Amino acid sequence: MAKLIDGKVISAAVKAEVAAETEELKKQGITPGLAVIIVGEDPASKVYVANKEKACQQMGFASFKYALPAETTQEELLELVKKLNEDPAVHGILCQLPLPRHLDEESVINTIVPEKDVDAFHPQNVGKIMIGNYDFLPCTPAGVMEMLKYENIDVNGKECVVIGRSNIVGKPMAMLLLHKNGTVTICHSRTKDLAEVCRRADILVAAVGRANFVTADMVKEGAVVIDVGINRLENGKLCGDVNFAEVEPKASYITPVPGGVGPMTIATLMKNTLTAAKKQNNL
């Protein structure tokens, strides 16, 4: 039976550290501020944004929410980002993705100044992650690394397989595992004999976006299984990319969905906002 890696407990520990440091920072007259932009009415995005606002309040941050209508133009959106770039009360800016189809996500990401890019999506921050000398950690992969650290799971020399190669999760996840000396394989929709590749993994990370995609035959006995996926089933319930019931008996450690990687992503976002506030005040 696998040990459950509890994202709620670990994220609470991270957030407690951030809140304590924020309290000290506020004594110096600095209140970390996070601006969150949401465009349109995507229900999942609304939930994520509400969770981020709630976390900001818990941390003692200032939170600025900009809920824009779905018909917002590219110019209007970029104008807002530029205004926030200049606002000294705002230390972190994030634009909730996906955006409505008529808007260009890449130009929005490129317009956020790298110092305030707390999602670490700007090419300058992505490049720094690649080099291994970064200011901001990519939120979800960094959350996964924090979970491994908390559980004393050593990555050094381990076979790590990441399913998914998105810029948000898969690629930076692979990079962080590599920085910790894992031997990393990245899989995607064109990978041949995926199950065979996955069975090599000591640490298997699923970031596919398909419910119950990882089945027991894809998992080595005793593997650490990290489920990044968040999928909503027809009955409204959330479910990961890993078939938990099948895989859990084979794994040594496993993350649940919900209550696994999700809370860690938000905790890292809070950490990044604090880092941004300190850096912008030369601390």
Judged by CB under 6 A, which of 166, 185, 212, 281 binds ligand NDP? 166
* Nearest residue (CB) to ligand NDP, 25 versus 147: 147
Taking residue 190's Cβ as centre, other Cβ atoms within 10 Å add up to: 7
Checking 183-191 for CB contacts under 8 A at 24+ apart, the result is 183/157, 183/158, 183/159, 184/160, 185/159, 185/160, 185/161, 186/162, 187/161, 187/162, 187/163, 188/163, 188/164
Judged by CB under 6 A, which of 60, 100, 114, 209 binds ligand NDP? 209
Judged by CB under 6 A, which of 138, 141, 164, 172 binds ligand NDP? 164
* Nearest residue (CB) to ligand NDP, 155 versus 194: 194
Please report, for residues 75, 141, 272, the alpha-carbon distance to residue 266 in angstroms, rounded to integers and kept in the order given. Answer: 29, 11, 10
Judged by CB under 6 A, which of 54, 102, 188, 237 binds ligand NDP? 188
The tokens describing 273, both together, are 């906002």
* Nearest residue (CB) to ligand NDP, 112 versus 187: 187
Is residue 28 flagged as an active site residue?
no
Please report, for residues 35, 132, 169, the alpha-carbon distance to residue 204 in angstroms, rounded to integers and kept in the order given. Answer: 34, 22, 14
Is residue 154 flagged as an active site residue?
no
**168 near ligand NDP, rule: CB under 6 A:** yes
**99 near ligand NDP, rule: CB under 6 A:** no
**7 near ligand NDP, rule: CB under 6 A:** no
**26 near ligand NDP, rule: CB under 6 A:** no
Is residue 57 flagged as an active site residue?
no
Pairing of strands 224-227, 159-163: unpaired
Taking residue 209's Cβ as centre, other Cβ atoms within 10 Å add up to: 14
**165 near ligand NDP, rule: CB under 6 A:** yes
Tokens 């590599």 belong to 178
**Residues known to be catalytic:** 52, 96, 119
Contacting positions for ligand NDP (CB under 6 A): 140, 163-166, 168-170, 187-191, 194, 207-210, 228-231, 261-262, 265
